[in-house]
């Protein structure tokens, strides 16, 4: 029963609930409250009538992004809004945001449906929660998580929907047990949906979060998936199966990440570690601004810039042709952690 499946208020409530639960856990870990900044965009509002970025960070999959270009493609006259929850200069987090957004459009252009031309012209809604957290302690890794859904609606035909999401970890100083815990938690979140799912989404993550201009991974990876709209067994519809899979990913984030912060947050560090962290954060900026489809499409299509760029680190350094000393802990990140490998 797709109509029941697609009660979007139920989806919206789940996303806003997830955002609230994650922020509660992060506030407890930090000891300081997150700011709340709600925003709306009236139908037809926004720069040049293009949509806000429904997916403030990685993995936004809209329109021309499918083709890998960064050309902004109007998705009808979109409206919508969101709730940004953010922290800066916290005790544990130097900068971070957990964003919910829900945007709608009245006409899906052909470019938005390259692999589903039959959907052109439909009304659409996109919803998601996306977060990036940059701890201050260089021994604490940066983390990203995103869960989202996209629905193409029709007056007389059944709606077409798909889910996407994932989470990935970006350490500055690598720890095998941290990467293992993060991946093990990702695997446990996906195993109920098939033993083949984690390996597939782990590989997809390695391929997506890769800086081609550096021939370097962003971090130790995690899981990534998109265009999920199939499956369903044991009395579950495909929608139920995909929705539950996405929920399992979102619900697993705090269990995957918070234990690593607790393990590393009190590790002493000095200027050397902070300097390496600032240098490596430059790679995060390069990925998000050069390669990430969601970020670029958002910025180039009238998205809410301050929400989109909550993914950028607070302090970043660039220097020419720098390489870590042989045998240093900094070099180990490049030799032992960034090259994609199996962690579980």
Residues with active-site annotation: 144
33 binds a copy of itself (CB under 8 A): no
Q: Which stretch binds a copy of itself (CB under 8 A): 12-20, 99-107, 151-159, 286-294?
A: 286-294
Q: What b/e string do you get for 50-60 counting C-beta neighbours within 10 Å, with b at 16 or more?
A: bbbbbbbbbbb
Q: Which of 1, 320, 326, 342 binds a copy of itself (CB under 8 A)?
A: 320
Q: Which helix (H) or strand (E) holds 245?
A: helix 238-264
Burial (CB count <10 Å: 0-12, 13-18, 19+), residue 258:
middle
Burial (CB count <10 Å: 0-12, 13-18, 19+), residue 43:
middle
Q: Which parts of 146-175 interact with a copy of itself (CB under 8 A)?
A: none
Nearest to 217 by CA among 312, 291, 323: 291
In the complex, the smallest distance separating the C-beta of residue 195 from a copy of itself, rounded to whole angstroms, is 34
One character per residue 81-100, x = contact with a copy of itself (rule: CB under 8 A) = -----x-x------x-x---
Instruction: Tell me if residue 56 falls in helix, strand or coil.
Output: coil
313 binds a copy of itself (CB under 8 A): yes
Burial (CB count <10 Å: 0-12, 13-18, 19+), residue 326:
exposed
Q: Which residue has the tokens 């720069």?
A: 47
Strands (E) across 171-284 are located at 210-211, 216-217, 221-228
Q: Which of 70, 203, 263, 265 binds a copy of itself (CB under 8 A)?
A: 70
Q: Which stretch binds a copy of itself (CB under 8 A): 10-18, 120-128, 237-245, 313-321?
A: 313-321
Judged by CB under 8 A, the number of residues near a copy of itself is 41
Cα–Cα dist 344/335, whole Å: 18
38 binds a copy of itself (CB under 8 A): no
In the complex, the smallest distance separating the C-beta of residue 288 from a copy of itself, rounded to whole angstroms, is 9
232 binds a copy of itself (CB under 8 A): no
In the complex, the smallest distance separating the C-beta of residue 304 from a copy of itself, rounded to whole angstroms, is 10
Cα–Cα dist 83/34, whole Å: 12
117 binds a copy of itself (CB under 8 A): no
Pick the closer one to a copy of itself by CB: 258 or 316.
316
Rule CB under 8 A: which residues touch a copy of itself?
35, 37, 47, 67-71, 86, 88, 95, 97, 212-215, 278, 282, 285-286, 289-290, 296, 299-300, 303, 305-306, 308-310, 312-321
């Amino acid at each position: 029963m797709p109509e029941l499946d697609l009660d979007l208020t139920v989806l919206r409530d789940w996303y806003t609930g997830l955002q609230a639960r994650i922020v509660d856990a992060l506030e407890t870990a930090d000891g300081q409250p997150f700011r709340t900044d709600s925003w709306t965009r009236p139908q037809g509002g926004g720069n040049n009538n293009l949509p806000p970025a429904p997916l403030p960070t990685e993995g936004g999959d809209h329109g021309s992004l499918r083709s890998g270009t960064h050309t902004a493609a109007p998705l009808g006259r979109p409206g919508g809004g969101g709730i940004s929850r953010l922290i800066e200069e916290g005790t544990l987090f130097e900068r971070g945001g957990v964003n919910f957004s829900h945007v709608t459009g009245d006409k899906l252009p052909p470019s938005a449906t390259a692999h589903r031309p039959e959907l052109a012209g439909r009304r659409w809604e996109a919803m998601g929660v996306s977060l990036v957290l940059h701890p201050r302690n260089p021994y604490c890794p940066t983390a990203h998580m995103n869960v989202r859904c996209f629905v193409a609606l029709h007056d007389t035909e059944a709606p077409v929907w798909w889910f996407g999401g994932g989470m990935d970890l970006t350490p500055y100083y690598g720890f095998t047990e941290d990467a293992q815990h993060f991946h093990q938690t990702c695997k446990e979140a996906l195993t109920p949906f098939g033993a083949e799912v984690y390996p597939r989404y782990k590989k997809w993550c390695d391929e997506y979060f890769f800086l081609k201009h550096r021939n370097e991974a962003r971090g130790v990876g995690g899981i990534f998936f998109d265009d999920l709209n199939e499956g369903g067994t044991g009395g579950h519809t495909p929608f139920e199966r995909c929705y539950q899979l996405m929920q399992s990913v979102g619900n697993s984030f705090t269990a995957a990440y918070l234990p690593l912060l607790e393990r590393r947050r009190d590790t002493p560090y000095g200027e050397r570690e902070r300097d390496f962290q600032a240098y490596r954060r430059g790679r995060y900026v390069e990925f998000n601004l050069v390669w990430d489809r969601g970020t670029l499409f958002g910025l180039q299509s009238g998205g809410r810039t301050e929400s989109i760029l909550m993914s950028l680190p607070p302090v970043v350094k660039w220097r020419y042709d720098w390489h870590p000393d042989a045998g240093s802990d900094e070099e180990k990140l490049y030799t032992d952690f960034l090259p994609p490998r199996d962690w579980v």
